[in-house]
Structure 1
């Protein structure tokens, strides 16, 4: 699938352009802010070719597409007006914690490339000076050092811009607030060792270069002030008066109160982590190492970035060294699966995810392509990450510059030798565990050398192997899936199956199992059978737009049902009168778990007759 096609599908499946309040992206995820998340078709998105997973976390609807996210994002912006976030009254607010994580994430996401690139440049300079290839006194070193240091030194300015943008205030006024903390006349007071005051109020002079918390507090207060001033100042005067008053109020308040408080708060967090490390470096490292994978899974890992950057601004970051074991453990898992599997497609997947994980620290393709598919591997990564994190914690390893943990960023950590041991142990453990104990869940996955080529014309008795029978949930006429007018279903992007043109408006359970999905609109139901088949019954095409009209669900998510139980009632004639088709795809969404899916040869079918036969 091309990037443009994938972009179009994603926009449609999140509810269309009109349902998107804003969109930003990080290294691997499209982070949507939706007006109504129930309008998004999460199941269809997860089954799109090119989408690794879908995560709802921190008030965001995150579509994980891997390292080609910039290309997909670019295509989306061509076809839809879904720019970066601003404060919109249409946006669901969510919990305070979710909103804080969202603000942090949206503020750092635009800086991701600059931070990672500058960090790697500083790591390269470390190698060059250690090996004697470059003198630390040379002009070349100072120029490259300036390139690597700039984004960190002037971080308050960059954060002022991105944070103000996120909070709906003027971005460059936010940047000016950060810049004021680094202005030479102001910093010169600190250099000269002088004390000062503002209208008689003593000012505590501090070094705000590379700081995070002071500008977060200052710009957050500025965003509130900006809205207030725009309400009370005449529109014709706002262009100059609002920025002028904002700077005149916020900058003094920052150097008097917000700045020192932010610095002290950051120092307190860093000291707490250092304290825990000195009391039990092993335990702290194990917890941080094991927990990082779960933070990444839910997209909450950005919440630790301010802490890491604040630690780096003072000395070094032990927390960065502890969590570094997790990405390397995930890369080790990919290598272990690559060595063990005989499935060509899985070998290609694990090999392709190993390279970016090992060399750049981008591991979402491993998380969603392997770990979420083979959940047996999750404990392997936890164990390996905990061991590697414990080693780094025990020996006090610290990151000296900001860089994604990877094989190439090793010089960013010290002592380097211990760090190499820590991440090497994490990588080796995660490689060895799937080799020893396998990676498959209880249900074996298909193996390429055991594939059995069958199609719907092959009689069932010719098939050797375990099978599961799916009964028809509807009475009506049988259609091939490629005859459905919806391209997502017709292309089998969501999985193989069959379609029914219903003549009776009742949906019955096709298997014994649990209701895994019950859409609030009632137009679709998902059920997971006792044997593990995941079945989606989608009544009609685009009927989600009816918002529940003419549908009456008889079950809810989590209910256990028996084959033949009534799941849903719907009014066929009313739906058709409203301009919608009632053609109902019946899809096996975990198609990849099966050798083949064979459909009935009947042209007409009654509810509870055999519709599909799936072969394991």
Structure 2
């Protein structure tokens, strides 16, 4: 499915544009604020091609996409006039805690990508310095360091923009308020911590606002209310310049006099409180964070920790990011353990596709939703490993010195490096070993076999699925579509056809016929639900070059014609004819085995389903 088609499908299933107050995205998920969550079809969304999962948490309706979320978001905002969430009188009432979390989440989420990129750049610089490839005194280092530091140093400006957007105020005025805190003439007043200047005779306690978080949250929240008030009392024809001018005149002095210092004290106080708790029991704190972070990620509320992490980093180092990194490494270890344990070629391919993003960038949602939640007996493995690694990290007092998604590439951003590396490798190794020793599949197979033996039935029941096409076989992992390659829709196989017709692979009932002809669903007499998807993104052809021979509800026998299609013209139009054959009710089966062939003819055995 194309990103455009997926965006349209999501828009429809969340209740349409009229049900959306706003939407933003983070690293892996679309985060909706809906007028009525009950109007969204959660189950259909979960089964949608390209959607990993759906989570309702902290007042948000979150659709988990994975690493392609930015592309889907881009297409979504083209077809839906919603953009980022803003406050609305129609917005459902939430608790104070939920509202605060939502403001934090929606303000931080748009910045996570640049945070991660800048953090990775700082990690790369640390590696280059450690290996002697680059000198810390060179111009090259200072230029690249500026690129990595800029987003954090000028954070009040970026937060001014994103928080204003969240509240429906002018984002550029919000950015200008943040920029005033970093303007050279103002910062030059500060020579020593605690210096005092004056504004109209009022004392101004000078602060360093670079990399600060809470002053912007407080100031821009007040600015948003001021913006709404000014628009009510100022004549419309002069609002364009008068509202921004008065907002700056009022908000910048108020911020440096009151909101800024108060925000700095709040941030420092929270950071010191966190550090105090961890200093009292680093082992306990690390164990709780390391073991619990996976579940916070599943709930989609992990971004709420970001302001505290950044505040700690501004004060020299953050223990939270170091401890939760162990949970991420535990998740990566799970994928590695399954990769070593399984003999299933398609599962190896799936695991490899989820492992690489985790190792390189710390994006582990594909592991969580594609592996851990599929093989639920592995959940304790990840929790135990996170607890073990987090306890070690807390015990040695490890801290992150730069914001970066935890991955193997950013280990140099922790201190002490060697001890934190031990904590991370313990978490990684623990899930790997537990997965290899105790396995990852549910005990369903054993229980089924034992019950059948007791009943005098055959141990294994099989259903053979024939090939609907003639062509060359390829694993799903090689399909140029993440939804199929990740097996999010189910297990199966793909065929590169060289004959332009598809026949029924089983005796059964036609359950779905897309009017475009590119996809047909069949339920076999034995209960297998089969999707035949002819081509990649071919829905955009709108039925051209396809001729359907069946309709929904028809009964078919194996070998009956389903659809004819023109391979050459489809390719000339710029589309691939690679055809995934998916068992969409994969969870019903103990195993799905391909015939290990390179080529196949119509009606030849293609897959064996083991019940």
Residue 97 of structure 1 deviates from its aligned partner by: 1.9
Q: List aligned pairs for 1:408-419, cutoff 5 A.
A: 408-419=409-420
Q: Which of 557, 563, 588 is equivalent to 1:593? A: 588
Quote the Cα distance in structure 2 between the aligned partners of 1:367 and 1:330: 7
Give the corresponding residue for 2:357.
Answer: 356
Task: Return closer, same or farther for 1:483/1:252 CA change in 2, 3 Å cut-off.
Answer: closer
Task: Return closer, same or farther for 1:409/1:492 CA change in 2, 3 Å cut-off.
Answer: farther
Q: List aligned pairs for 1:362-511, cutoff 5 A.
A: 362-444=363-445, 452-454=462-464, 480-482=510-512, 491=521
Quote the Cα distance in structure 2 between the aligned partners of 1:492 and 1:171: 51
Matched, 1:327 2:337: no
Q: List aligned pairs for 1:5-404, cutoff 5 A.
A: 5-191=5-191, 194-404=195-405
Task: Return closer, same or farther for 1:595/1:196 CA change in 2, 3 Å cut-off.
Answer: closer
C-alpha root-mean-square deviation of aligned residues, in Å? 2.9
Matched residue SS, 1:306: helix
Give the corresponding residue for 2:540.
Answer: none
Give the corresponding residue for 2:483.
Answer: none
Residue 210 of structure 1 deviates from its aligned partner by: 0.4
Q: Which moved more, 1:358-367 or 1:128-137?
A: 128-137
- Deviation string 1:244-270 (CA, Å, 9 cap, x unpaired) is 221122222211221111111111111
Contact 1:484 1:490 in 2 (8 A): yes
- Stretches of 4+ moved more than 4 A in 1? 483-490, 495-498, 588-591
Quote the Cα distance in structure 2 between the aligned partners of 1:453 and 1:156: 61
Give the corresponding residue for 1:463.
Answer: none
- Deviation string 1:562-604 (CA, Å, 9 cap, x unpaired) is xxxxxxxxxxxxxxxxxxxxxxxxxx9854332699xxxxxxx
Q: Structure 1 stretches of 5 or more lacking a match?
A: 457-477, 499-539, 542-587, 598-613
- Deviation string 1:466-522 (CA, Å, 9 cap, x unpaired) is xxxxxxxxxxxx9631369899996479x9669xxxxxxxxxxxxxxxxxxxxxxxx
Quote the Cα distance in structure 1 between the aligned partners of 2:411 and 2:389: 14
Contact 1:454 1:596 in 2 (8 A): no
Contact 1:59 1:93 in 2 (8 A): no
- Deviation string 1:331-375 (CA, Å, 9 cap, x unpaired) is 001111122223333222222111111111001111111122222
Residue 389 of structure 1 deviates from its aligned partner by: 0.9
Task: Return closer, same or farther for 1:189/1:131 CA change in 2, 3 Å cut-off.
Answer: same
- Deviation string 1:57-85 (CA, Å, 9 cap, x unpaired) is 12221111111112222232333333222
Q: Which moved more, 1:55-64 or 1:344-353?
A: 344-353
Quote the Cα distance in structure 2 between the aligned partners of 1:102 and 1:119: 24
Contact 2:461 2:610 in 1 (8 A): no
The count of aligned residue pairs is: 489
TM-score normalised by L of structure 2: 0.75
Contact 1:211 1:313 in 2 (8 A): yes
Task: Return closer, same or farther for 1:594/1:489 CA change in 2, 3 Å cut-off.
Answer: farther
Give the corresponding residue for 2:556.
Answer: none
Q: Which moved more, 1:87-96 or 1:23-32?
A: 87-96
Residue 45 of structure 1 deviates from its aligned partner by: 1.1
Contact 1:481 1:489 in 2 (8 A): no
Residue 31 of structure 1 deviates from its aligned partner by: 1.5
Matched residue SS, 1:302: helix
Matched residue SS, 2:381: helix
Contact 2:521 2:529 in 1 (8 A): no
Quote the Cα distance in structure 1 between the aligned partners of 2:91 and 2:346: 41
Quote the Cα distance in structure 2 between the aligned partners of 1:301 and 1:492: 40
Residue 451 of structure 1 deviates from its aligned partner by: 8.5
Quote the Cα distance in structure 2 between the aligned partners of 1:424 and 1:20: 43
- Deviation string 1:104-128 (CA, Å, 9 cap, x unpaired) is 1211122122111111111211222
Contact 2:23 2:83 in 1 (8 A): yes
Residue 95 of structure 1 deviates from its aligned partner by: 2.3
Quote the Cα distance in structure 2 between the aligned partners of 1:496 and 1:47: 16
Matched residue SS, 1:31: strand
Matched residue SS, 2:419: helix
Residue 17 of structure 1 deviates from its aligned partner by: 2.7
- Deviation string 1:512-544 (CA, Å, 9 cap, x unpaired) is xxxxxxxxxxxxxxxxxxxxxxxxxxxx99xxx
Quote the Cα distance in structure 1 between the aligned partners of 2:103 and 2:522: 37
Task: Return closer, same or farther for 1:594/1:156 CA change in 2, 3 Å cut-off.
Answer: same
Quote the Cα distance in structure 1 between the aligned partners of 2:112 and 2:279: 31
Contact 2:219 2:255 in 1 (8 A): yes
Contact 2:529 2:585 in 1 (8 A): no
Residue 96 of structure 1 deviates from its aligned partner by: 2.1
